[in-house]
Amino acid sequence: MKREEFEELAADTLNAFVKPALDAVAAAGLTTADLTTVEVTGSGSRMLTVQKRLEEALGKPMSMTTNAEESAARGAALACAIASPVVRVRDFTVEECLLYPVEVEYPAEDGSGKLERIALFDRYSVIPSTKQLALTLADGFDFRVIVGQGSKAEESAYDTLATGKVPALSPVKVDGKEVALQSQKVKIKVKVNEFGVVEVLGAESSQSYEIEVEEKVPKKKEGAEKMDTSADGEGTDAKKDKTKEGEADAPAAAAEPEFEVTKVTKKKTHKVALSVPVVYPAALPVDRLTRYLEVEHAAAAADKLVQDTAKARNDVEEYVYSLRDKLAYQYKDFASEETIAAINPVLSETEDWLYGDGENQTKSVYADKLASLRALGDPIHARYTEGEERPSAIKEFESVCVAFEVKATTQLEEYEHISAEDKAKVVAAVKEARDWLKEKMAEVDRSP
């Protein structure tokens, strides 16, 4: 097949590569004439046919200056490093964007029964982001969070991201009496997380009303005294006298209350968090998810049992080979010929059993088989370990005896305060310890 024939057969597929590139240019508010360079990386650098079709669509030659093998891996590694609490990297600001618009569909607020839509998140909005939608609907209603239509010809069944039901609002009561409401709203909170997944966080009702409450207000003063303007001046003297009398009565006037209680109308808002059941059509139902988790856990347990069984079988096989080799070399001086002659046939029988009837046994069968073999080999291993460690223990024992003997038999200034009787006790104890050691070593020499 020639390249031209291949390109003709794969025309639809090749055109599909071009569309996302053209959509990205249009979404950025640019035209192909505004582009300076176009970079191809990764496996795209080896697909000459795709490069050719992109060059024709974008009007620019394809540049391949980035590392074709490692660019994606490095980006993924950097993302992991930023998220990791262990790895420390420079501060990077990575803004994720929403790849599709998000709208909310709800009943019209005029009560006509029609459905209305409002854009909540625009395409390419920075995420994560949380927004609230306030609706003046008091009766219970259903709503949908959907993918915005945009340039799509018709809505798809997969466009519904979430559905919810807001309950009807309850009347507000004060002192057991229902109050008249001035306004009431329902706020629906919707979030798009860092992965571009829509979440309905809940809803809250807000109901406003007016109520009369008693409140202290400044007391209104009586009318001020009129000024006396008589010509003969007697009025002025009389006023001075009254002022002096008023000064004497001032403490009594100050004791009178300066506030009075009156009724004032105040606006209050009653807020309640509403219980809103939300269904995500693309998500698995809880019962099915639980069932899948149970199947997954059962499969994991079965895998672990298979691994544990294989390990138990390998432990038996390993112990057979190890004990047989050690009986011929390391353990030959710590077991009688009769014992070795009795164990070797058991090891051979076990080896044959492993590759015959014992090839597909359970974990417990292998564990029992290993325990029976250890009952034969562990006593020999214990004697071997004791024989290897005994010389160093005897040497340490002798060094302690010599140290105490030297201190008890020589005239050292630092031990002059110890009486001869006590030193004789030390010498006797050292002799007794050496006699005990000599006796035990004789028992070891006599043992088979």
**What are the average pLDDT values for consecutive 10-residue runs of the chain, which has 448 residues?**
85 86 88 90 76 89 79 81 85 84 91 88 92 90 87 64 92 82 90 92 91 75 52 50 53 60 83 92 87 95 95 95 92 89 93 90 94 94 90 92 88 82 90 91 80
pLDDT reported for residue 381: 93
Query: End of a domain among 55, 78, 94?
Result: 94
Is the domain of 139 the same as that of 79? no
Residue 442 lies in a domain: yes
Is the domain of 38 the same as that of 183? no
Q: What is the CATH number of the domain that holds 373?
A: 1.20.1270.10
Six-digit token string for 194: 């860092």
pLDDT reported for residue 260: 75
Q: What is the CATH number of the domain that holds 189?
A: 2.60.34.10
Is the domain of 4 the same as that of 71? yes
Residue 250 lies in a domain: no
Is the domain of 429 the same as that of 321? yes
pLDDT reported for residue 224: 46
pTM of the model: 0.54
Residue 226 lies in a domain: no
Query: End of a domain among 279, 309, 328?
Result: 279
Is the domain of 84 the same as that of 116? no
Is the domain of 197 the same as that of 137? yes
Is the domain of 112 the same as that of 168? yes
Is the domain of 440 the same as that of 296? yes
Residue 265 lies in a domain: no
pLDDT reported for residue 153: 47
Query: End of a domain among 71, 94, 117?
Result: 94
Question: Total domain count for the chain?
Answer: 3
Residue 42 lies in a domain: yes
Residue 223 lies in a domain: no
Parent domain of 328: 284-448
Buried b (16+ CB within 10 A) or exposed e, 411-442: eeeeeeeeeeeebeeeeeebeeeeeeeeeeee
Is the domain of 23 the same as that of 162? no
Is the domain of 300 the same as that of 445? yes
Is the domain of 61 the same as that of 157? no
Residue 288 lies in a domain: yes
Is the domain of 374 the same as that of 406? yes
Residue 201 lies in a domain: yes
